[in-house]
Amino acid sequence: MKTLAFTCGDINGIGPEICIKTINQIYSPSERKIVLFCPSNVIEEELLVTTHSFSYQIIKDKLPQNLDPSYVTIINTGNYKQQVGKPTIFSGKAAFASLKRAYEAASLKLADAIITAPVSKTAFKFAGIKYPGQTEILAKFSKSKNYLMVFLSNKFICGLTTIHEPIKNVSKLITKQRIVSSIKTLNETLVKDLGKSSPKIAVLGLNPHAGENGNIGEEELSSIGPAIRSIKNISVEGPFVPDAFFGNHKHEDYDAVLGMYHDQVLIPFKMMNFNSGVNYTAGLPIIRTSPDHGTGFDIAGRGIANPQSMLEAVKWAEKIITNRRQKK
């Protein structure tokens, strides 16, 4: 039996809708317990318009220690004004409250994993929440320093050395120490969470042509190459020329790819896996997965949101739960 905790994400986007659609497909009292953290006014409205066949109970207090699997338990995280289709101060506060309550449940071992719906960084800013994303918030909550944003799919797995950073800041953040830490965290999650016995990791360069011997940037010579060469007891190669690496399908030869910045690996990843890729935060004491798409403000409220990526997030979360249990 597994216990999954869902967050509502931004209440003005497609988060509540895809949560209900996903839960409706995975609802199975003999296999899992399900809890959803969401403002009651939002979820009650969504349940009226989104088809579902599961039984549920809304609780306005703390998450019970003994959940009844025959019900989907919805924990009311407050009452927030909903304005479908745009980020607001209220949607930012609601998303943060949902994430905080879900993290608390996981940290208290009341949930085996949390599956987070998409949030808006603009709404977070409106609400005075000074974090660029849920990955950084969860790292702060758990006091984790060596965390890594990882994207999972059956086609390839990739990690990001830097996460939500402006391009102008990336170069100075690419240090030997940071790359070494990222490689070790990625390797650990491949072994512990994904069940790889002897994983092989590829590391991409930062600059065009991977710097071409320092003629188009020096990070490959000063940071990336030295970091790779300093690693012991991990199979890691690079730095590779990014465009040629993906153009020649070299990602198929490795268990995971470590990129230097957000779009460097997420453009090819999403081209191959849109609606089936999953965001995973490696290096945390808890398990957290998420769809690899955004809030969908443009289609919110229309009932057409595709839950496939969140369904994949559930599959990967349960796979990681199983692998961690087997490692104990």
Please tell me the predicted confidence (pLDDT) of residue 273.
Answer: 87
| Rg of the chain over all Cα atoms, to the nearest angstrom | 20
Show the domain range for 20.
1-144+284-328
Please tell me the predicted confidence (pLDDT) of residue 107.
Answer: 95
Please tell me the predicted confidence (pLDDT) of residue 72.
Answer: 97
Taking the model in full, what pTM does it have? 0.92
Could you report the per-residue pLDDT of 190-228, keeping only the tens digit for each? 999 999 999 999 999 999 998 888 899 999 999 999 999
Average pLDDT of the segment spanning 264-286: 92
Q: Does residue 183 sit in the same domain as residue 237?
A: yes
Q: How confident is the model at residue 78 (pLDDT cuts 50, 70, 90)?
A: very high
Coil, strand or helix at 61: coil
Q: Does residue 152 sit in the same domain as residue 268?
A: yes
Answer whether residue 62 shows pLDDT above 90. no
Q: How confident is the model at residue 30 (pLDDT cuts 50, 70, 90)?
A: very high
Answer whether residue 151 shows pLDDT above 80. yes
Answer whether residue 327 shows pLDDT above 80. no
Work out how many domains the chain is built from and give that number.
2
Please tell me the predicted confidence (pLDDT) of residue 274.
Answer: 82
Are 217 and 207 a contacting pair, CB within 8 Å?
Answer: yes
Q: Does residue 25 sit in the same domain as residue 120?
A: yes
Joined tokens for residue 129: 């929440």
Could you report the per-residue pLDDT of 283-321, keeping only the tens digit for each? 999 999 999 899 999 999 999 999 999 999 999 999 999
Q: Does residue 149 sit in the same domain as residue 139?
A: no
Please tell me the predicted confidence (pLDDT) of residue 65.
Answer: 83
Q: Does residue 134 sit in the same domain as residue 29?
A: yes
Instruction: Tell me how far CA of residue 8 lies from CA of 19, 106, 125, 227, 300, in angstroms.
Output: 7, 16, 18, 39, 13
What DSSP character marks residue 84? T
Indicate the average pLDDT of the chain.
Answer: 95
